[in-house]
Amino acid sequence: MMMTAARGASLLPLAALAVTTLACQHPAVSGDAPAPSVEAVWPDAPPVDFTPRPIPESGRLSVFRPHFDRHVEVFGVLVVATPSTDAVKVTHAATVLAEWIDNDEDGVPDDQAVHAALVEGGAFLVMPATEEEMERLHRRVSFEALEEAGFHIGQDLYGDETFPAGPPHVMGRGRFDAALEEVLHLVSNGWVEAYPEALGYRPGSRLTDAMDLARGGRFRRLPRAYPGGAWYHYDDRTCDYECMAAEYLYWALTSHLGGQAFPGRAEEIAHEWECPTPQLLAARDPAVVQLLTDRTLALPRVLPDGRYAPRSRAR
């Protein structure tokens, strides 16, 4: 069964599915070559090459043809793009993916259990140029064929919402770089699988317990109105409880890392999220900060900046 992470207000309809735990184990993404083991010693492998390369005409990756023509593989996780998507933006998304997986940039995925969940689930990011192109792809791509090829965890990111030179990479007003959010939604599937009691999207995890406090109650369905003290009040009725949890994790983690603190951002997101700075988050939502800083979970400590340089800088 294919899974999908949250996208903005709704789940990406790769299939009629919500985010669930992995039900199957699958080989890693690896073009025509045999799939690498998740126990592979990544520091001994060649450095990650973020240059988009043609999708081969045969082999496992060929299932993405003809609608996608380029790919980048990052620690066994795949990024695929359509011909109309800017290659610079594809490279940027792949770089952000590397930073979320290997946040300390030592050349090794930060958490092997999380990494294994992504690789074994065939995690992939699809990059059309626009939302309209994605809608056309939903009518043309055989998602059953993707599942049969072992690609079970999908997320989309549009080229026209990807801004390598935009905030929060620069502390100024402008359109937020959606690569930070959508790639995070993909990677967080691994966290949910590896640590369901802490980071699961179903009621009763540490994450959803914190979210229920932030929303002012455990609402399985969207309430008519959130309580006055709520600081997380997503109001899109297409987003179910697990989708709300995925969005909450995104808001909390990026705010904790300083990704929502650029000029003008607080006003843009106040209708949904009221803790855009690390200071506000720590003051209003100590439960989620305690979770995000739990050293046993190896969650990211630094916001991706689109410059992945393993071993070259201390973090």
In the prediction, which pLDDT does 134 show? Answer: 97
The share of the chain scoring above pLDDT 90, in percent, equals 77
Range of the domain at 10: 1-195
Assess whether pLDDT exceeds 80 at residue 275. Answer: yes
Q: Which pLDDT tens digit goes with each residue over 51-69?
A: 999 999 999 999 999 999 9
| 176 vs 310, more confident | 176
Does residue 302 belong to any structural domain of this protein?
Answer: no
In the prediction, which pLDDT does 237 show? Answer: 82
Does residue 151 belong to any structural domain of this protein?
Answer: yes
Does residue 32 belong to any structural domain of this protein?
Answer: yes
Q: Which pLDDT tens digit goes with each residue over 109-134?
A: 999 999 999 999 999 999 999 999 99
**Mean pLDDT (whole number) for 77-106:** 97
| Same structural domain, 207 and 222 | yes
In the prediction, which pLDDT does 109 show? Answer: 96
**Domain boundary residue among 173, 195, 217?**
195
| Same structural domain, 152 and 265 | no
Residues with Cβ within 8 Å of residue 3, at least 6 apart in sequence: 17, 19, 20, 22, 121, 152, 153, 154, 189
Does residue 217 belong to any structural domain of this protein?
Answer: yes
The share of the chain scoring above pLDDT 70, in percent, equals 84
**Mean pLDDT (whole number) for 76-81:** 97
| Same structural domain, 179 and 202 | no
In the prediction, which pLDDT does 233 show? Answer: 94
Assess whether pLDDT exceeds 90 at residue 15. Answer: no
User: Where does the pLDDT of residue 37 fall: very low under 50, low under 70, confident under 90, or very high at 90 and above?
Assistant: very low
| Same structural domain, 134 and 201 | no
| Same structural domain, 84 and 171 | yes
| 143 vs 256, more confident | 256
Does residue 113 belong to any structural domain of this protein?
Answer: yes
The total number of structural domains in the chain stands at 2
Does residue 258 belong to any structural domain of this protein?
Answer: yes
Does residue 306 belong to any structural domain of this protein?
Answer: no
| Same structural domain, 143 and 281 | no
Q: Which pLDDT tens digit goes with each residue over 136-191?
A: 999 999 989 999 999 999 999 999 999 999 999 999 999 999 999 999 999 999 99
Assess whether pLDDT exceeds 60 at residue 35. Answer: no
**Domain boundary residue among 144, 166, 195?**
195
Q: What is the mean pLDDT of the chain?
A: 86
**Mean pLDDT (whole number) for 69-75:** 97
**Omega of the bond prior to 66 within 30 degrees of 0, cis?**
yes
**Mean pLDDT (whole number) for 19-37:** 33
| 102-105 own/partner pairs: CB under 8 Å, 24+ apart | 102/75, 102/308, 102/310, 103/300, 103/301, 103/302, 103/304, 103/315, 104/301, 104/302, 104/315, 105/308, 105/309, 105/310, 105/311, 105/312, 105/313, 105/315
| Same structural domain, 182 and 39 | yes
**Mean pLDDT (whole number) for 2-24:** 38
CA pair distance 180, 167, nearest whole angstrom:
10
Report whether 23 contacts 39 (CB < 8 A): no
User: Where does the pLDDT of residue 221 fall: very low under 50, low under 70, confident under 90, or very high at 90 and above?
Assistant: confident
| Same structural domain, 134 and 37 | yes
| Same structural domain, 117 and 221 | no
| Same structural domain, 143 and 67 | yes
| 221 vs 253, more confident | 253
In the prediction, which pLDDT does 6 show? Answer: 57
Assess whether pLDDT exceeds 90 at residue 48. Answer: no
Does residue 184 belong to any structural domain of this protein?
Answer: yes
**Domain boundary residue among 150, 177, 195?**
195
| Same structural domain, 174 and 257 | no
In the prediction, which pLDDT does 168 show? Answer: 96
Assess whether pLDDT exceeds 70 at residue 70. Answer: yes
| Same structural domain, 104 and 137 | yes
